[in-house]
Amino acid sequence: MANPLTAPLGIEAAAPLHELLNIVHSRPFSLLFGNYSWAVGAAGGLTMIWAIYVIAGRRRGVEFRFAMPLAVALIVGGFLNVLSEVQQPSRLIYGYFLGWQYWDTAIIKYGIILLPLYLVLCWWLTFQAMDRRALGAAVTRLSPGLRPWADLFSLWSRHYSVLERDGPRRWIVGVLIFLSLFAPMYSGIFLMNEHGVAIWNSPAQALLFMASAIAQAALMMLVVLPLLAWFATGRLAQPSMSASLRWTAAISVGIEAVVWFGWMWWIGRFGTIEDLRVAQLYMGPYADIVFWNWTIPGLVAPLVLLITPLGRSRWAQWLAALCVMWGTYAIRMLVLMGGQALVRSGAGYQAFAPSAEVLRYSAFSVLVIIGVLAVLLLALPADRAPELDASTQ
């Protein structure tokens, strides 16, 4: 008896001749869409976990202090990929102002309006997460000519703290949670609105993007934020909730596995003709790519490293984080490739390869992420950071 997970209903796949006939058509989305979805999704996961920590009253430690700077850098890097994709920044700028009037006409209007607001909120909370007196002392030490610029840069955060007041904190955290949910799911919902692509017109990809973003963010908090704390302050600080972050990542990866294999089983048994062809594609020409870039690094290896006693060791946590970050990117690219290979008459699944220009854009966005993060880390008063005291070892 055939295994329904690996043997969908028999449908004749697109013949090589079809690929020759369709070779002139370009793919509507490129590697840059995956870059954007990965970066902004990770930011959404980071800020969501940060908001939960704030709700729980944990406003100390490495998670509280460094999650927002990393989120800001990821959002900026993600936005650059969008600008490179559309190749006309004026379209996004015009769409932002027009989107307020016609916000309900397309999902892209929601993204154009909400994601810049999300960036501004994360930027503001980056400085609100600093100790106010330490930030004020750092600004005061500057020359009189630089102090106004430092205040503008930090949105005058040395003069007030909204997180210390119950009412404003609840409103701000509520808005942040909404935007944190929107950021990882936006790219999946955006693809759902692409007509004529059966594999994209499913909520499964949005669930995959959401779960993978949370898993990635939890492991970034576990291993990347301590490294940022050491770079910024020279102090060894570890997350105060290591076990919670590890199990959050493990549960999220488990949800990814259930959604992915359930999705493949469903479209392989009950899908449309287009769904069945994509299932054949994932289990035929793309089988090795799926196995070595998603199944093993994205699902199997992280679960083994996080659930077993190995998960208590730092090397296992680092290895799990690298696997999840790669798997999170791979699943986004696999969803894109599957949707564009057959039903959108792409350049052919055998011809998919990023151009040199796209690779240059991708490399530049990585450099921007590192640069923005470095600037924000330099803004931390290194000589006095009491917000880290809860996790200093």
What domains appear along the chain, each with residue ranges and CATH number? 16-391 (1.20.1630.10)
339 touches 197 (CB < 8 A): yes
- How far, in Å, are 96, 187, 194, 365 from residue 89 at the CA level? 11, 19, 22, 15
| pLDDT score at 20 | 42
Query: What is the SS3 assignment for 170-189?
Result: HHHHHHHHHHHHHHHHHHHH
**Could you give the 3-state DSSP secondary structure of residue 24?**
coil
pTM value? Answer: 0.86
111 touches 190 (CB < 8 A): yes
Task: Please report, in tens digits, the pLDDT of each residue of the chain (393 residues total).
Answer: 445 455 555 544 444 444 444 444 455 567 888 899 999 999 999 999 999 999 988 888 888 889 999 999 999 999 888 777 666 665 556 555 665 665 565 667 777 888 989 999 999 999 998 888 888 888 888 888 889 998 999 899 998 989 888 888 999 999 999 999 999 999 888 888 876 677 888 899 999 999 999 999 999 999 999 999 888 877 777 777 888 999 999 999 999 999 999 999 999 888 888 888 888 888 888 899 999 999 999 999 999 999 999 988 999 999 999 999 999 999 999 998 888 776 544 445 555 667 778 888 888 899 999 999 998 888 776 655 556 655 544
| pLDDT score at 16 | 46
Give the whole-angstrom CA distance, residue 27 versus residue 25: 7
Give the whole-angstrom CA distance, residue 270 versus residue 8: 9
Give the whole-angstrom CA distance, residue 83 versus residue 89: 6
Rounded to 5 degrees, what are φ and ψ at 216? Answer: -60, -45
The distance from CA 113 to its chain's CA centroid, rounded to whole angstroms, is: 18
Tokens read off for 15: 């013949």
267 touches 279 (CB < 8 A): yes
Tokens read off for 138: 């750092």
Give the whole-angstrom CA distance, residue 80 versus residue 350: 28
